[in-house]
């Protein structure tokens, strides 16, 4: 999804985030992808258009945007944080081999609830379901690598 600069500016202002060209570029790159990139991935993406942007700016901006609720940090069994510009209620498919993450939109999963007894006094604010397995590409690779049954 491509956001117009005015929409980015409006989202930033609603969350009291100061609008800068660099922040807008980082946010636009994030919301335009569904790949759940790392900070380094975003740095590479953004420096194509903004070659003078520093890694520090990317890392700092991700922190600012996360605190403002404009992105989610997705850290599902990965050695580094991944980021998601989609902050609406959704869930994930996670490949245990290549670390690919795909969004799952499912209203049944959205409605999951935990009983008060199971919550043990927690005031639950939300939930996210993660399904772990092998993506199509990795499944194909596993079939090619496994010995044929005779």
- Summarised one tens digit per residue, pLDDT across range 35-73 is 999 999 999 999 999 999 999 999 999 999 999 999 999
Question: Does the pLDDT at position 1 exceed 80?
Answer: no
Residue 149 pLDDT level (bands cut at 50, 70, 90): very low
Residue 150 pLDDT level (bands cut at 50, 70, 90): very low
Shared fold status for 1-87 and 88-150: no
Tell me what pLDDT residue 137 has: 93
Residue 143 pLDDT level (bands cut at 50, 70, 90): confident
Average pLDDT over residues 123-136: 92
**CATH code of the domain made up of 88-150:** 3.30.1490.190
- Summarised one tens digit per residue, pLDDT across range 90-128 is 999 999 999 899 999 999 999 999 998 999 999 988 898
The dihedrals phi and psi of 51, each to the nearest 5 degrees, come to -65, -15
Contact yes or no for 83/72 (Cβ under 8 A): yes
- Summarised one tens digit per residue, pLDDT across range 5-17 is 999 999 999 999 9
Provide the residue ranges of all domains of the chain, joining segments of one domain with +. Answer: 1-87, 88-150
- CA atoms of 81 and 12, how far apart (whole Å): 22
Question: Does the pLDDT at position 77 exceed 90?
Answer: no
Tell me what pLDDT residue 141 has: 82
Tell me what pLDDT residue 35 has: 92
**CATH code of the domain made up of 1-87:** 1.10.10.10
């Amino acid at each position: 999804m491509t956001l117009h600069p005015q929409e980015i500016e409006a989202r930033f202002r609603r969350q009291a985030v100061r609008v800068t060209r660099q922040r807008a570029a980082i946010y636009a790159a994030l919301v335009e992808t569904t790949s759940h990139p790392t900070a380094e991935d975003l740095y590479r993406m953004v420096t194509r258009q903004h070659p003078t942007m520093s890694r520090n700016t990317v890392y700092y901006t991700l922190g600012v945007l996360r605190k403002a609720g404009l992105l989610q940090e997705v850290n599902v069994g990965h050695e580094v944080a991944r980021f998601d510009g989609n902050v609406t209620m959704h869930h994930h498919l996670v490949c245990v081999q290549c670390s690919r993450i795909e969004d799952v939109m499912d209203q049944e999963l959205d409605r999951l609830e935990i009983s008060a007894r199971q919550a043990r006094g927690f005031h639950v604010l939300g939930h996210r379901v993660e399904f772990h397995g092998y993506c199509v590409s990795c499944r194909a690779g596993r079939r090619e690598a496994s010995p044929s049954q005779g």
